[in-house]
Copies of this chain bind each other. A is one copy, B any other.
Amino acid sequence: MTAAEKTARADRAGATRDVILATAERLFAEHGVFGVSNRQISEAAGQGNNAAVGYHFGTKTDLVRAIVRRHTDQIEQLRVRMLAELGPEPDVRDWLGVLIRPQAEHLAEIGPPTWFARFSAQLMTDPALRQIMVEESLTSPSLQQIIDGLRGGLPDLPPPVRRERGDMARLLMVHLLAEYERDLDAGTPVARASWQETAAGLIDALVGLWTAPVTS
């Protein structure tokens, strides 16, 4: 095989991988990760060989991880850039901004229809699948820096309150974006005209949530 032939073969393999990833993400978002077989994905991706998913990605877990990684790599780039643009003494709102805006910006950049917000919501509500998301995100030093910064800027809160508000913030980020994506897809009227405005409303609300007085 010549060098040119090798390059052409690698290009074809890369294109096949891309098609499989996009098809799998859509099918998972629509029917659930456990409701779709690798064989169905291969067929829907137009692969003559029904074992194409296995050949290119391995197990279903490997495939899910590949979808997650493709998005988190791009979100990471946006996050690093926004983090670099942060002023000298960021407050809670600034930290929440660099936490939430990269995801919204990423979904806006892909353009409709997107599937990743719904796919993420599904992963985050399944204990086994969530682990994949956590592992892929925890490796990000920029995300860790934001979480540390946010913690440092928060008012003094009893540990269970701090933990439950972290849980609430995560649930809101995941499910608000998933619902926005679902509404866009279904043509349901939405409160905000863009992903970026949706993020802005969420940041305002989370500032209130994190700094709310604690009773009882």
**Interface SS of A by simple majority:** helix
Residue A111 CB within 8 A of the other chain: no
Contact with B along A192-216 (1 / 0, CB 8 A): 1000011011101111111111111
- Is B191 a contact partner of A160 (Cβ separation < 8 A)? yes
- Is B204 a contact partner of A215 (Cβ separation < 8 A)? yes
- Is A168 a contact partner of B202 (Cβ separation < 8 A)? yes
- Is B205 a contact partner of A165 (Cβ separation < 8 A)? yes
- Is B176 a contact partner of A191 (Cβ separation < 8 A)? no
Interface size, chain A (Cβ < 8 Å):
42
Residue A161 CB within 8 A of the other chain: yes
User: Which residue on B lies nearest to A188, using beta carbons?
Assistant: B127
Complex: how many Å from CA A161 to CA B164? 24
Residue A171 CB within 8 A of the other chain: yes
Complex: how many Å from CA A165 to CA B200? 12
Taking the closest CB of chain B, its distance from the CB of A97, in whole angstroms, is: 10
**Which of B163, B171, B211 has a CB less than 8 Å from the CB of A208?**
B211
A186: chain B residues within 8 A (beta carbon): 127
A160 and B192 contact, Cβ closer than 8 Å, known pairs A175-B171, A186-B127 = yes
Contact with B along A6-46 (1 / 0, CB 8 A): 00000000000000000000000000101100000000000
Residue A69 CB within 8 A of the other chain: no
Complex: how many Å from CA A35 to CA B126? 15
- Is A182 a contact partner of B127 (Cβ separation < 8 A)? yes
Contact with B along A91-131 (1 / 0, CB 8 A): 00100000000000000000000000000010001010000
CB within 8 Å of B: which of A158-190? 160-161, 163-165, 167-168, 171-172, 175-176, 178-179, 182, 186
A204: chain B residues within 8 A (beta carbon): 161, 212-216
Complex: how many Å from CA A208 to CA B161? 13
